């Protein structure tokens, strides 16, 4: 079996960028997805060019972070301020039918085009808080991947259930897992490439070596699984990122340490697990 060790949030902050590049140059990381409107997005695209072996994707954003377009052009999503609202606010706008999907399509197109215009080759698509899979937004996502010929899209969660990550996170995992298996998997066109993904349940430094190896072993028992995406969020643990995103409760340094753990690399080799990337799986 092959594993894609992937990092979300490339471009979120400079500290996250540095953690991603260290995880790639010194560890197991093979892939990252760019937040085109992130405060350190320009630095991230420069780092991507300096590290051409790092497979790049787009991390679509519609909550919490700044948009690429002017907030005034996104009035059905952003009612005030310069940033997208919370995920729950977006979900309420969807359910109450207040959201204009043409504005979502324009913003997500702008995010993709900003990355492409910076010279980033996009092999896969995912999103902040899995929002691209929400009702209504999935249809926009499918338009985006068709328009820009993006091969892979994140569409499943295959973590093993565990109470160790907390009851709230487990409920979120259960709801998202049910939605992706009952609806999303049936809505994707046959030409869209998908891989099982793990890392949602133990996001933000909560995934340790033993739990990772146990989950990979369980997935390897499925004969149909040829490759798996492991979603992580490495960073240097710098004060700026930790303070700005303290409400996330993430420990970015733990994911960096996991990705650069030499013992983990030996364990994977002993089990015959090899690293790969979305680009290599095309």
Residue 282 belongs to some domain of the structure: no
Residues of the domain holding 63: 2-275
- Predicted pLDDT at 225: 82
Q: How far apart are CA 103 and CA 74, in angstroms?
A: 6
pLDDT tens-digit series, residues 144-185: 999 999 999 999 999 998 878 788 889 999 999 999 999 999
Is the per-residue pLDDT at 239 higher than 70?
yes
pTM beyond cutoff 0.85: yes
The pLDDT confidence band at residue 223, using thresholds 50, 70 and 90, is: low
Residue 281 belongs to some domain of the structure: no
- Predicted pLDDT at 164: 80
The DSSP result for 3-61, as a single string, is EEEEEEEETS-HHHHHHHHHHHHHSS--EEEE-TTSTTHHHHHHHHHH-TTSEEEEEE-
Is the per-residue pLDDT at 14 higher than 70?
yes
pLDDT tens-digit series, residues 20-41: 999 999 999 999 999 999 999 9
pLDDT, average across residues 105-125: 97
pLDDT, average across residues 250-276: 96
Q: What CATH number did the domain enclosing 184 receive?
A: 3.20.20.370
Residue 158 belongs to some domain of the structure: yes
Residue 101 DSSP code: H
Q: Helix 262-270 crosses helix 209-220 at what angle (to 10 degrees)?
A: 20
* Cα dist from 98 to 65, 90, 144, 245, whole Å: 20, 9, 21, 28
Mean pLDDT of the chain: 95
Q: How far apart are CA 109 and CA 281, in angstroms?
A: 25
């Amino acid at each position: 079996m092959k594993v894609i060790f992937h990092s979300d949030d490339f471009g979120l902050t400079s500290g996250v960028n540095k953690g991603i590049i260290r995880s790639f140059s010194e560890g197991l990381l093979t892939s990252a997805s760019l937040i085109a409107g992130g405060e350190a997005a320009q630095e991230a695209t420069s780092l991507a060019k300096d590290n051409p072996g790092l497979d790049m994707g787009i991390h679509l954003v519609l909550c919490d972070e700044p948009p690429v377009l002017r907030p005034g052009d996104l009035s059905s999503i952003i009612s005030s301020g310069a940033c997208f609202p919370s995920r729950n606010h977006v979900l309420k706008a969807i359910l109450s039918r207040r959201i204009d999907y043409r504005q979502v399509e324009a913003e997500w197109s702008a995010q993709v085009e900003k990355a492409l215009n910076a010279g980033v080759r996009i092999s896969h698509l995912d999103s902040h808080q899995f929002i691209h899979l929400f009702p209504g937004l999935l249809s926009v996502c499918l338009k985006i991947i068709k328009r820009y010929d993006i091969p892979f899209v994140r569409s499943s969660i295959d973590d093993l259930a565990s109470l160790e990550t907390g009851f709230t996170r487990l409920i979120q995992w259960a709801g998202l897992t049910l939605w992706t298996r009952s609806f999303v998997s049936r809505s994707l066109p046959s030409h869209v490439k998908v891989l099982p993904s793990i890392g949602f349940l133990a996001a933000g430094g909560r995934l340790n070596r033993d739990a990772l190896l146990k989950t990979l072993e369980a997935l390897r028992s499925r004969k149909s699984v040829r490759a798996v995406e492991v979603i992580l969020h490495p960073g240097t643990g710098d004060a700026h990122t930790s303070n700005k995103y303290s409400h996330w409760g993430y420990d970015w340094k733990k994911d960096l340490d996991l990705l650069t753990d030499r013992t983990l690399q030996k364990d994977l080799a002993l089990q015959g697990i090899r690293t790969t990337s979305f680009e290599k799986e095309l």
